[in-house]
Structure 1
Amino acid sequence: MTKPKWIDISQPLTNDMAHFPGDMPFDYSFTHTKKQTGLVNVGQIAGSVHTGTHIDAPFHYDSNGKTVDQLDLNLYIGEAIVLDVSHTEKITAETLQAFNLHGVTRVLLHTSLPNNPERFPEQMPELDTSIAEFLHENGVKLLGVDMPSVDPPESQDLATHQALYRHDIFILENLMLDHITPGRYELIALPLAISGADGSPVRAVLRQAG
């Protein structure tokens, strides 16, 4: 029996994509072209490691935390559940209690925020800090969201980042879940092996769990 195909849930990296206010925008350009050299096209990229679909390493919000190259890759490969929480603008522990998380260590939240990589949202649904303890009690190790951040852009204390960190839950942001049916999947969302980095873009994909 043929296995279901992998579904891309990552944002394409383009020169017109939105970026976090004050951060470096993504840029792809040619160092050399085949027309110039007669041999090959050679591209170069610049931009924040928090561009598009990406993971946050603890070093992002704790100077003593682990960097990307120190993270356990098993966090980003394995069974995940996609939950539809688009009916509310504030996601709390009570919101998540409606779902069966038995045996799941990776949770991906489809919120009310429409997927639009070219526009940075003026407002985002709120992730209440109460979700951290609830997810931890249910054995969750990775939380993915279809928003640029688990905290509002104007946050001065990164309360949700810190709450998740205290409960040993890692963060995956800017997923594209509008076209995904809620349910259980296999997830691959591997960060690049960037030495000493506080985050990394990922190519996140799902395949329906068999």
Structure 2
Amino acid sequence: MSNGSHSTSQSNFEQGWIDISQPLSNKLAHWPGDTSFSYTFATKEQTGSVNVGRMTTSLHSGTHVDAPFHFLNEGAKIHELDLNLYIGPCRLIDIGDSEFINADALSSHDLNGVTRLLIRTKLPNNPNSFPDSIPHFTKDGAAYLGEKGIRLVGLDCPSVDALDSKELEGHHALHQNGVHILENVMLDQLSLGDYLLIALPLAIQDGDGSPVRAVVKPL
């Protein structure tokens, strides 16, 4: 199995936790037109006492969660979301070469009893290159997850919608079916199966999203 451009150290595997988040660096690809991630720091010599860093970034840089406020003016903001959504058992599936994340692509997988789902697509895990196109959710795919009781879905893509979408059909359909969104997780390195997931958003007052440090441990 390909490791993509994001390798996991042997020590992570020995300790049980596997980092599936994109490293935040000045090389990180970002949504065209959005604020890129930038990290700078003042040295001890400059400050007289400490090294101190500064970053600027979109809240949707790298591995991140979307709050409903991202696509709905009346939607819940990041500090209002239930943290239990982002901690707990999850299942990783692979939808192969599917162009769409629809009911057909999902129905061949056992999702009974699953509340958090990670979906590996054909998109290579390359955090330093923004893709030209991505697999994306359809209304019936979102409805299928809702019927199964999924409350959080994580993708190895920068969006649950097509990159040129203005209607954001996938975002809205997932929300209408009670499914929250985690994007840009790194899944190439993982075996399919069940894990414990931690992907906590920051407590950003009134935020429309948040970067996360997403980690999993095999169950």
Partner of 2:76: 66
Q: 2:196 aligns with which of 180, 186, 189?
A: 186
Deviates more, 1:191-200 or 1:148-157: 148-157
Where structure 1 has 5 or more consecutive residues not aligned to the other structure, the ranges are none
User: TM-score, normalising length from structure 1?
Assistant: 0.95
The match for 1:85 among 74, 90, 95 is 95
Q: Is the CA contact (8 Å cut-off) linking 1:187 and 1:207 kept in structure 2?
A: yes
- One-letter code aligned to 1:25: S
Aligned residue number for residue 136 of structure 1: 146
How far off its partner does 1:132 sit? 1.1
* Structure 1 letter corresponding to 2:131: P
Is it true that 1:124 corresponds to 2:134 in the alignment? yes
Of 205, 208, 211, which aligns to 1:201?
211
Partner of residue 5, structure 1 = 16
Which secondary structure does the structure 2 equivalent of 1:133 belong to?
helix
Separation of aligned partners in 2, 1:185 and 1:148: 22
Cα deviation for residue 4 of structure 1 reads 5.8
Alpha-carbon distance in 2 for matches of 1:43, 1:37: 11
Aligned-residue offset at 1:152: 1.4
Residue 21 of structure 1 aligns with which residue?
32
Structure 1 partner of 2:162: 152
Q: Percent identity?
A: 51
Secondary structure of 1:55's aligned partner: strand
Q: Distance in 2 between matches of 1:190 and 1:86?
A: 28
TM-score (norm 2): 0.91
Q: Which amino acid is the alignment partner of residue 190 of structure 2?
A: I
Kept after mapping to 2: 8 A contact 1:146/1:176? yes
Moved more, 148-157 or 51-60: 148-157
Cross-structure match for 2:44: 34
For 1:192 and 1:126, locate their aligned partners in 2 and report how far apart those are by CA, in whole Å: 26
- One-letter code aligned to 1:17: L
- Structure 2: 5+ residue runs without aligned partners? 1-13
2:62 and 2:80 map into 1 onto residues whose CA distance is 21
| Residue deviations 1:108-132 (CA, integer Å, cap 9, x gap) | 1000000001110001123222111
Distance 1:99 1:113 in 2: 19
The one-letter amino acid of 2:117's match is V
Give the match for residue 43 of structure 1: 53
Residue 16 of structure 1 aligns to a residue whose secondary structure is coil
Following superposition, the deviation at residue 95 of structure 1 comes to: 1.4
Residue pair 2:102, 2:142 contacting (<8 A) in 1 also? no
Contact 1:4 1:208 (8 Å CA) reproduced: no
Q: Which moved more, 1:32-41 or 1:76-85?
A: 32-41
How many residues get paired? 206
Q: What secondary structure sits across from 1:24 in the alignment?
A: coil
Q: Which runs of 4+ in 1 moved over 4 A?
A: none
